[in-house]
């Protein structure tokens, strides 16, 4: 699976993992859930470990967990972390998305 973290996103995730307790099993869970104003929304979270059927990726020394449903929508995605006057957070560049909402947290395929 092709999923990439920018250096800024990787730095932020490492910080969250340290806060979480930095266990060897822990990693970043990236998911796509039905909902949001455009049909699907992204979810990122620190998780204690993979679920039974998760795809486990490693990028820049960070374990990434993706469930089978989400994997079909995350192929080729780039996850970034931005800070601006309007706030900070993860952003997603998804080549599969055919549309999205103004807030950038939901998309259409």
The domain spans of the chain are 3-108
Class of domain 3-108: mainly beta
Cα–Cα distance between 98 and 83 in angstroms, integer? 25
Q: Is 30 exposed, middle or buried (0-12, 13-18, 19+ CB in 10 A)?
A: buried
Query: Do the beta carbons of residue 108 and residue 100 sit within 8 Å?
Result: yes
pLDDT of the residue at 59: 93
Q: What number of other Cβ atoms are within 10 A of residue 109's Cβ?
A: 13
* Tokens of residue 46, six digits: 């620190």
pLDDT of the residue at 99: 61
pTM of the model: 0.85
pLDDT of the residue at 94: 84
Which sign does the torsion angle of CA 61, 67, 70, 72 carry? positive
């Amino acid at each position: 699976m092709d999923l990439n973290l920018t250096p800024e996103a990787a730095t932020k995730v490492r910080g969250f993992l340290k806060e979480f307790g930095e266990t060897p099993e822990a990693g970043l869970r990236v998911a796509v859930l039905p909902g949001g104003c455009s049909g699907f929304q992204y979810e990122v979270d620190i998780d204690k470990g993979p679920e039974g059927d998760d795809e486990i990726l490693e990028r820049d020394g960070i374990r990434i967990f993706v469930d089978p449903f989400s994997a079909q929508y995350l192929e080729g995605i780039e996850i970034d972390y931005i800070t601006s006057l309007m706030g900070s957070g993860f952003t997603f560049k998804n080549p599969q998305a055919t549309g999205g909402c103004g807030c950038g947290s939901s998309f259409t395929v």
